[in-house]
Amino acid sequence: MSSNLHPMLNVAIKAARAAGAIINRAALDVESVRISQKQVNDFVTEVDHAAEEAIIETLLGAYPDHAIWAEESGRTRGRQGSDNVWIIDPLDGTTNFIHGFPVYCVSIALSVRGRIEQAVIYDPTRNDLFTATRGRGAYLNERRLRVSKRTDLRQCLISTGFPFRPGDNFNTYLRIMAEVMSRTAGLRRPGAAALDLAYVAAGYTDGFFETGLSPWDVAAGSLLVTEAGGLVGNFTGEPDFLEQRECLAGSPRVYGQLVAMLQKYSKFASAGEKAQVRQALGTLSQASDGAAPEVAADDGEPAPRDA
């Protein structure tokens, strides 16, 4: 680790690499990993718990007065109420991991008085280390990152996450996907939101959007994007997104175009915009009648198939 890095970032890197070592060892025999299910299609493994414990022990060993906010253990560790809060996803992309699909990562961010100041995203399969300190830029290993320079949306590659939980509105997502796919060069769904944001920062993709995300999914990646010259917010373009369960990121020009396209799908959209979406969804539902596979019902549950 570099002596030029912020001391807290150095500790976060040490924690991320410790978690990555646990993940890589388990990946050698992933079929033996014990898996449980938090809810439908939302998995957790013994590796998630072991990686999270290694991260927390490393962070609190250096900063015992800091607070912890982690995906699996919540806000139970450290000194809750501290101005310094470590936001941790020990294994983002668990579903990928348990299938042996090599797209997952460790995500660690430090929030100081509500603002993300340090960020680490570590991809243990590629040994890719994404880091950022507020005001000091974003890096992949030793290389400074900048967001993509593309400005024409038709030439842009956009990443996203598909809805997968009960209650997700699949019809709305199908409508969003139809709009984005018809106006861009392509849409990708890698399956790990933290890496999606890191890839926006690196310029591998030009933008990213997803709903249903938790703070530990986006905290570290959001700082990477902004330190690489990009923008992050909700679908209406407001920068307050961390706990709003909708995230949009991209280079400045692409971000603006995506806001114009997606803001009507935001839970913060105006009544008129929401009515426009409902009308479009009604048309989509009628067009899908009799087709296979069926799209989901408007309440987010799968529509029943004909017997």
pLDDT tens-place string over residues 44-62:
789 999 999 999 999 999 9
82, part of any domain = yes
User: Which of 68-77, 122-131, 164-173, 187-196 is the least confident region?
Assistant: 164-173
Percent of the chain with pLDDT over 70: 83
Give which of 139, 101, 107, 109 is closest to 123, Cα–Cα.
Answer: 107
Which residues, 6 or more positions from 277, have their beta carbon under 8 angstroms from its beta carbon? 172, 175, 264, 265, 269
Which residues, 6 or more positions from 302, have their beta carbon under 8 angstroms from its beta carbon? 170, 294, 296
The pLDDT, as a whole number, for residue 173 is: 87
| Statement: residue 204 has pLDDT above 60 | yes
Domain boundary residue among 107, 136, 165?
136
User: Which of 8-17, 33-42, 53-62, 100-109 is the least confident region?
Assistant: 33-42
Do 249 and 200 lie in one domain? The reply is yes
Q: What are phi and psi of 126, to 5 degrees?
A: -115, 0
Known binding residue 65? Answer is no
pLDDT band at 292 (very low <50, low <70, confident <90, very high): very low
- Rounded Cα gap, residues 17 and 58, in angstroms: 10
pLDDT band at 302 (very low <50, low <70, confident <90, very high): very low
219, part of any domain = yes
Do 95 and 177 lie in one domain? The reply is no
Range of the domain at 239: 153-269+278-282
Which residues, 6 or more positions from 300, have their beta carbon under 8 angstroms from its beta carbon? 163, 166, 167, 168, 169, 170
- Pull the structure tokens for residue 264: 């009507």
Output helix, strand, coil percentages for the chain, rounded to the nearest 5. Answer: 40, 25, 40
Do 114 and 234 lie in one domain? The reply is no
Do 35 and 112 lie in one domain? The reply is yes
- Pull the structure tokens for residue 235: 């679908």
Do 202 and 130 lie in one domain? The reply is no
Known binding residue 168? Answer is no
231-233 and 246-250 beta bridge pairing: antiparallel
Per-residue b or e along 45-66, where b marks 16 or more CB atoms closer than 10 Å to that residue's CB:
bebbbbbbbbbbebbbeebeeb
Pair 220, 206: CB distance under 8 Å:
no
pLDDT band at 283 (very low <50, low <70, confident <90, very high): low
Domain boundary residue among 136, 167, 200?
136
- Pull the structure tokens for residue 165: 């939980």
pLDDT band at 219 (very low <50, low <70, confident <90, very high): very high
The model carries a pTM of 0.86
End-to-end CA distance of the chain: 61
Domain boundary residue among 136, 166, 190?
136
Whichever domain contains 121, its CATH number is 3.30.540.10
Number of domain units in the chain: 2
The pLDDT, as a whole number, for residue 233 is: 96
| Statement: residue 279 has pLDDT above 80 | no
- Rounded Cα gap, residues 107 and 109, in angstroms: 7
pLDDT band at 165 (very low <50, low <70, confident <90, very high): low
210, part of any domain = yes
Q: How confident is the model over 275-301, as a mean pLDDT? A: 47
The CA–CA distances, whole Å, from 178 to 123, 183, 196, 205, 275 equal: 30, 9, 20, 19, 18
97, part of any domain = yes
How many CA atoms lie less than 13 Å away from 131 in the CB half-sphere? 23
Q: Rounded mean pLDDT of the chain?
A: 87
190, part of any domain = yes
Do 184 and 213 lie in one domain? The reply is yes
Do 67 and 175 lie in one domain? The reply is no
Residue range 241-263, pLDDT digits in tens: 899 889 999 999 999 999 999 99
15, part of any domain = yes
Residue range 267-276, pLDDT digits in tens: 887 655 555 6
Q: How confident is the model over 138-143, as a mean pLDDT? A: 96
16, part of any domain = yes
Known binding residue 246? Answer is no
Known binding residue 210? Answer is no
The pLDDT, as a whole number, for residue 291 is: 44
Do 161 and 262 lie in one domain? The reply is yes
287, part of any domain = no
Whichever domain contains 190, its CATH number is 3.40.190.80
Known binding residue 306? Answer is no
Do 109 and 162 lie in one domain? The reply is no
The pLDDT, as a whole number, for residue 169 is: 73
Do 20 and 77 lie in one domain? The reply is yes
Do 164 and 125 lie in one domain? The reply is no
| Statement: residue 297 has pLDDT above 80 | no
Do 73 and 104 lie in one domain? The reply is yes
Name the residue type at position 292: A
The pLDDT, as a whole number, for residue 271 is: 55
